[in-house]
Amino acid sequence: MAASYIGSIKTVGESMARSVTDANAFKIFMDEPEALGGRNGAPNPLDFILAAHGGCLNFMTFFIANEMGISVEGTEIDVIGKLDPAKFAGTDLSVRAGYQEIEIKIQIQSNASAEQVAELLAAVETRCPVSDNITNATPVSISMTTV
Q: Is residue 145 part of a domain?
A: no
- Report helix, strand or coil for 142: coil
**Per-residue pLDDT tens over the stretch 62-95:** 999 999 999 999 999 999 999 999 998 899 999 9
Tell me, yes or no, whether 48 and 38 share the same domain: no
- Report helix, strand or coil for 3: coil
Tell me, yes or no, whether 66 and 4 share the same domain: no
User: Which domain does 34 fall in, by range?
Assistant: 1-42
Q: Is residue 141 part of a domain?
A: no
**pTM listed for this prediction:** 0.92
**Per-residue pLDDT tens over the stretch 91-138:** 999 999 999 999 999 999 999 999 999 999 999 999 999 999 999 999
- Residue 137 has φ and ψ, to the nearest 5°, of -65, 130
Question: CA–CA separation, 146 vs 10, rounded Å?
Answer: 17
Q: Is residue 146 part of a domain?
A: no
Pick from 88, 82, 80: which is nearest to 100 by CA? 82
